[in-house]
């Protein structure tokens, strides 16, 4: 097989692989269960990673004494977990339970970032959890504007939930109006 033919085969295989990744991502965004999450303020300064808005929701900090499920489990950093969700006021979803395996009903899959006890002005077991929903990339001007909206509680996160509990950011709700990100 000539060198040129090998390079063409490799380029074709890489193109098929990348196209498959884009199609899988687009399918997950379009076909998942849509949920909306309130956001909490965070100071987002890290100039090395580009312009983005740091996203923090009620799902990112779980107080185990307020949840049902596997709350007595000894959670460690890196553990996979599923958080059971229920719609709360004005359509925002809230955590109601935590599990070591995917439960029945709507749940989101994440990883324990940090587990411990207590916090500022609170006592009890608490976990920080990551869901791959922690950053929303935007232009420098848009990122600053979105931070201001988030600080004023005028911004909610729109998430597409797959059947396995994996979540993908679909867009933002700003003052009750949907702003869905387009892939194509």
Q: What is the pLDDT of residue 76?
A: 92
Nearest-angstrom CA–CA distance, 87 and 159: 13
Task: Give CB contacts under 8 A, 24+ apart, made by 131-135.
Answer: 131/59, 131/60, 131/167, 132/166, 132/167, 132/168, 133/37, 133/55, 133/57, 133/157, 133/159, 133/167, 133/169, 134/54, 134/55, 134/56, 134/60, 135/49, 135/52, 135/53, 135/54, 135/55
**DSSP 3-state assignment of 176?**
coil
SS3 39: coil
Question: Quick one: pLDDT at residue 23?
Answer: 87
Contacts of 131 by beta carbon, 8 Å cutoff, 6+ apart: 59, 60, 108, 109, 110, 167
Residue 40 confidence (pLDDT):
62
Tokens for 105?
Answer: 């009903």
Q: Indicate yes or no: pTM above 0.85.
A: no
| pLDDT by 10s per residue, the chain, length 184 | 788 889 999 999 999 999 998 888 888 878 778 778 776 655 455 555 566 777 888 899 999 999 999 988 999 999 999 999 999 877 889 999 999 999 999 999 999 998 887 666 677 789 999 998 888 887 777 877 888 888 888 888 899 988 889 988 898 898 989 888 887 7
**Nearest-angstrom CA–CA distance, 109 and 71:** 16
Task: Look at residue 46 in the predicted model and tell me its pLDDT.
Answer: 55
For residue 107, give Cα distances in angstroms to 7, 29, 38, 132, 167. 44, 16, 16, 15, 10
pLDDT at 102: 94
């Amino acid at each position: 097989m000539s060198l040129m033919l090998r390079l063409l085969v490799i380029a074709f295989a890489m193109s098929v692989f990348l196209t498959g990744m884009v199609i899988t991502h687009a399918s997950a965004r379009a076909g998942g269960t849509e949920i909306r999450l309130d956001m909490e303020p965070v100071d987002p300064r890290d100039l090395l990673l580009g312009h983005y808005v740091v996203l923090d929701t009620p799902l990112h900090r779980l107080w185990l004494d307020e949840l049902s499920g596997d709350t007595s489990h000894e959670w460690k950093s890196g553990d996979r977990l599923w958080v059971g969700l229920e719609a709360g006021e004005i359509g925002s979803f809230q955590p109601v339970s935590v599990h070591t395996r995917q439960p029945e009903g709507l749940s989101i899959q994440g990883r324990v970032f940090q587990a411990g006890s207590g916090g500022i002005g609170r006592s009890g077991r608490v976990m920080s959890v990551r869901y791959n929903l922690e950053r929303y990339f935007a232009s420098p001007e848009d990122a600053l504007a979105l931070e201001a909206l988030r600080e004023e509680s005028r911004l909610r996160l729109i998430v597409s939930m797959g059947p396995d509990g994996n979540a993908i950011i679909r867009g933002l709700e700003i003052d009750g109006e949907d702003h869905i990100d387009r892939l194509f």
